[in-house]
Amino acid sequence: MSGPHDAAALDADRPMPPVGWLSTGALCLVIVGGILLASYAPRVAPLGVPVALLCAGVVLLAVAGTLLTRIEGFAWTTFATVFKWALLAYAITAGMIEFAFVRDHTRGSALVVVTMMLVVFALSVPSTIAFTVARFAQSD
């Protein structure tokens, strides 16, 4: 006899694109860039390396999103449920980090770069969490 758990086990064994790895890579890049920017506070930070890390993080996150949309028979309902709650939590966290940078008088281009890094942060972690949960859930 086969039950719903057998179908989920078969779904879990099928190959999946490296969505989790790519979104985690994006997270790592923006964390390194954010630490680099924060290390200069309150002085003016050079933006070359942080902007390059941000761009690479955005590319990795975009590739992860593109690969994610091409998965057939994916548990989209589960993904959406997990993603929205994780996004809420990480948007609040990103907002608190943004507040800390504003409070430390970060202005201009550096603040824009930090804000964009926090957007990648707030999207990459929920993407990784939701993908990991949904890949082992029964498909819609």
Confirm whether 23 is domain-assigned: yes
Q: Which residues, 6 or more positions from 121, have their beta carbon under 8 angstroms from its beta carbon?
A: 27, 30, 31, 34, 90, 94, 97
Confirm whether 36 is domain-assigned: yes
For residues 91 and 137, what is the distance between their CA atoms, to the nearest angstrom? 25
Q: pLDDT digits over 26-79, tens only? A: 999 999 999 998 888 778 889 999 999 999 999 999 999 999 999 998 999 999
Q: pLDDT digits over 82-105, tens only? A: 999 999 999 999 999 999 989 988
Confirm whether 2 is domain-assigned: no
Confirm whether 115 is domain-assigned: yes
Range of the domain at 24: 17-135
Confirm whether 39 is domain-assigned: yes
Confirm whether 28 is domain-assigned: yes
For residue 128, the model assigns a pLDDT of 97
Is-contact 114 101, C-beta < 8 A?
yes
For residues 31 and 16, what is the distance between their CA atoms, to the nearest angstrom? 26
